[in-house]
Structure 1
Amino acid sequence: MNASSPSRLRRFAAARFSPEGAAGLYLTMGVAALVAAAWVFGLIAGQVAANGPITLLDLRLAQWFHARATPGVTRLTLLFTHWNSVAGVLAMTAILGYALLRRRLDYWLLALVCTVPGGMVVNGLMKLAFERARPVFEQPLVTLHTYSFPSGHASGATLFYGFLVCLLVRHVESGGKRFAIGAGAALIVSAVCCSRLYLGAHYLTDVLAGVAEGLAWLAICITAVSNLRRRREARGLPLWRIS
């Protein structure tokens, strides 16, 4: 190694963690988030495919929730889970998309379209790839005929509320407010996951994989659009000019 190699490595590392430039800190963070989420998804998927020890926890937890179901809680849970269904998330996405369009936040609008509808398509393809059956009970609270892994509700909630966090924290300077936004989104996603377990629609690994899948796709979309924006703005080009 020549003497200039350490210097080049230091410059390379500094550039990766610099807030400036298209390939700086934001790209590094996005790639790191993608790798971490994809690794978690792969770990869970491997356990499910091999009927690993975690699948025993799946069965026990599903039975535990089902045994403690009550009519009142079930009604509230159904209302909440329907609000965060594919149709509900797409409706919220349409409202948010209209608001972004009105404010001419073109790059955020592009990121939203890629993130939520695109992520739901990815989730559907994943379900077809794994073909995992849903939990079975003698007296089910819900009856669904689609595949179970990974959870579409968990993935959709992660995509939408995760995108909302990315949008809001960029426009909030207070660290406390940023933490509150992130914690609130995490609480909602957790509640969606619990609602699916309570209703017996999914196993624990289904919702965990759905969250991991959603985070990975969110990282891809936010990082790609952010990188596109920085490159085009550096060249003085608007988003919709292709040349």
Structure 2
Amino acid sequence: MPVPLVPPSSQARRPVQTFLAARFSPEGAFGLQLTLGVALIVLAALAFGVVADDVVRGAAITRLDVQLAAWFHARATPGFTRAMLLVTHWNGLAGSSAMALLLAFWFARRRLHAWLLLTVLAVPGGMLLNAALKHVFRRARPSLDHPLLTLETYSFPSGHTAAATVFYGLLACWLFKRVHGAPARALVLLAAAFMIGLVALSRMYLGVHYLSDVIAATLESLAWLTLCVTAVSAYERRRALAHRAGEAP
């Protein structure tokens, strides 16, 4: 009896279908979680590239940058300035480092080794990445009469906003895993977004960063944090699967 032949096109599709099925499967170390992480990394990186290109070309956003900087400066008040200085100093290099060390100590005491590794990778790595990008673009800070705060370093992207995005984003990831229910998880995400936005506002209000600086910093750090979370998560899932396979009879 003749054996029915499988069309070559069907044979070619099978490896592709198998690969796609594995990438969108909730099981395994390199399944849906990794796919979503990679997609978010790519989207954030592309968005950062668009903002950076607009800044380099002097596109419309740079004119909005100057207008918004002047608008904030013209409406500064002593009380709000003190509040913004408190926010910006608390979330500076020293403040962000201290908060990250406390969080790392908490994870170490709780033996949450994956979260400890994530903190060690994400926070210092994010700061180094931001410093490197500043020296790539070398954008001057806003120039204002009688500035509220004066800095000599580069402006693009905002280091304070980048550090806040990594730290509060990491904290939100951990709390998101701990709490249950949509309202509680939404509150965690909103709180993290509020803190990041508050830090970004302080930098614009004080006249040391433009709007595009803080937008780019948020996108840059979102891509970096997602990369770290995705890598550590895939590593931990792979270890867990290997451990289970080793215990199987």
**Amino acid in the other structure paired with 2:147:** P
Q: List alignment gaps of at least 5 residues for structure 1.
A: 238-243
Question: In the alignment, what sits opposite 1:26?
Answer: 33
| Residue 89 (structure 1) aligned with residue 96 (structure 2) | yes
**Amino acid in the other structure paired with 1:96:** L
Question: In the alignment, what sits opposite 2:143?
Answer: 136
**Amino acid in the other structure paired with 1:88:** G
| Residue 229 (structure 1) aligned with residue 240 (structure 2) | no
| Residue 218 (structure 1) aligned with residue 235 (structure 2) | no
Question: In the alignment, what sits opposite 2:192?
Answer: 185
Following the alignment from structure 2 to structure 1, what is the Cα–Cα distance between the partners of residues 21 and 86? 49
Question: In the alignment, what sits opposite 1:154?
Answer: 161
Question: In the alignment, what sits opposite 1:241?
Answer: none
Give runs of aligned pairs for residues 42-191 of structure 1, distance below 5 A: 42-191=49-198
Following the alignment from structure 1 to structure 2, what is the Cα–Cα distance between the partners of residues 120 and 145? 18
Question: Please, what is the CA RMSD of the aligned residues?
Answer: 1.4
Question: In the alignment, what sits opposite 1:198?
Answer: 205
Following the alignment from structure 1 to structure 2, what is the Cα–Cα distance between the partners of residues 177 and 14? 32
Identity, % of aligned pairs? 51
1:175 shift after superposition: 1.5
Following the alignment from structure 2 to structure 1, what is the Cα–Cα distance between the partners of residues 241 and 147? 56
Runs of 4+ more than 3 Å apart: 4-11
Question: In the alignment, what sits opposite 2:3?
Answer: none
Q: List alignment gaps of at least 5 residues for structure 2.
A: 1-7, 245-249
**Amino acid in the other structure paired with 1:42:** G
Following the alignment from structure 1 to structure 2, what is the Cα–Cα distance between the partners of residues 86 and 25? 35
| CA deviation vs aligned residue, 1:28-76 (integer Å, no higher than 9, x gap) | 1110110111011100100111111110000000000000001111001
Question: In the alignment, what sits opposite 2:42?
Answer: 35
Return the TM-score normalized by structure 1: 0.94
Question: In the alignment, what sits opposite 1:240?
Answer: none
1:6 shift after superposition: 4.2
| CA deviation vs aligned residue, 1:9-28 (integer Å, no higher than 9, x gap) | 44333322222111111101
**Amino acid in the other structure paired with 2:156:** F
When the two structures are aligned, how many residues end up with a matched partner?
Answer: 237
Following the alignment from structure 1 to structure 2, what is the Cα–Cα distance between the partners of residues 149 and 165? 25
1:228 shift after superposition: 1.2
Return the TM-score normalized by structure 2: 0.92
**Amino acid in the other structure paired with 2:131:** G
